């Protein structure tokens, strides 16, 4: 799974402050998701990664496991009236008996 996450993603992960990451993760745990999409089959994880990178998201958390991987991606939107906003996407990739499943969960925080 780590081979699908590139060096630029890992650099962003390392440069993102722990305190800011904690704030973002707390916000997504206290708000319902805006959208959840489940895709089954191969290559959906890679396609979702390409979309997130293209849309300006950066990796802020990565939790690889033996048969699954969770990654959290964040992009900050310009502040309107001094209210900073952001978008968060969580990718959950899992292996299953029939193949792979990728779940994309998004929040507006």
Distance CA 38, CA 96 (A): 13
Distance CA 62, CA 5 (A): 9
What are the tens digits of pLDDT across the range 24-72? 999 999 999 999 999 998 889 999 999 999 999 999 999 999 899 999 9
Q: What is the pLDDT of residue 58?
A: 97
Check residues 86 and 3 and name the one with the higher pLDDT: 86
Calculate the alpha carbon distances from 5 to 64, 71, 85, 91 in Å: 11, 9, 25, 12
What are the tens digits of pLDDT across the range 72-98? 999 998 777 777 789 999 999 998 888
Q: What is the pLDDT of residue 7?
A: 94
Does the pLDDT at position 3 exceed 60? no
Q: What is the pLDDT of residue 77?
A: 83
> What's the order of all strands across the beta sheet hosting 58-64?
35-40, 99-108, 83-96, 68-80, 58-64
Check residues 109 and 83 and name the one with the higher pLDDT: 109
Q: What is the pLDDT of residue 2?
A: 46
Fold classified for 2-108: TATA-Binding Protein (3.30.310)
The structural domains of the chain, with segments of one domain joined by +, span 2-108
């Amino acid at each position: 799974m780590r081979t699908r996450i590139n060096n630029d993603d890992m650099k962003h992960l390392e440069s993102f402050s722990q305190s800011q990451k904690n704030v973002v993760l707390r916000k997504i745990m206290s708000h319902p998701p805006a959208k959840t999409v489940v895709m089954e089959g191969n290559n959906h994880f890679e396609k979702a990664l390409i979309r997130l990178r293209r849309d300006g998201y950066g990796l802020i958390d990565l939790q690889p496991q033996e048969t699954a991987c969770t990654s959290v991606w964040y992009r900050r939107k310009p502040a309107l009236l001094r209210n900073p906003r952001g978008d968060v996407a969580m990718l959950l990739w899992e292996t299953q008996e029939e193949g792979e499943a990728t779940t994309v969960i998004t929040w507006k925080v």
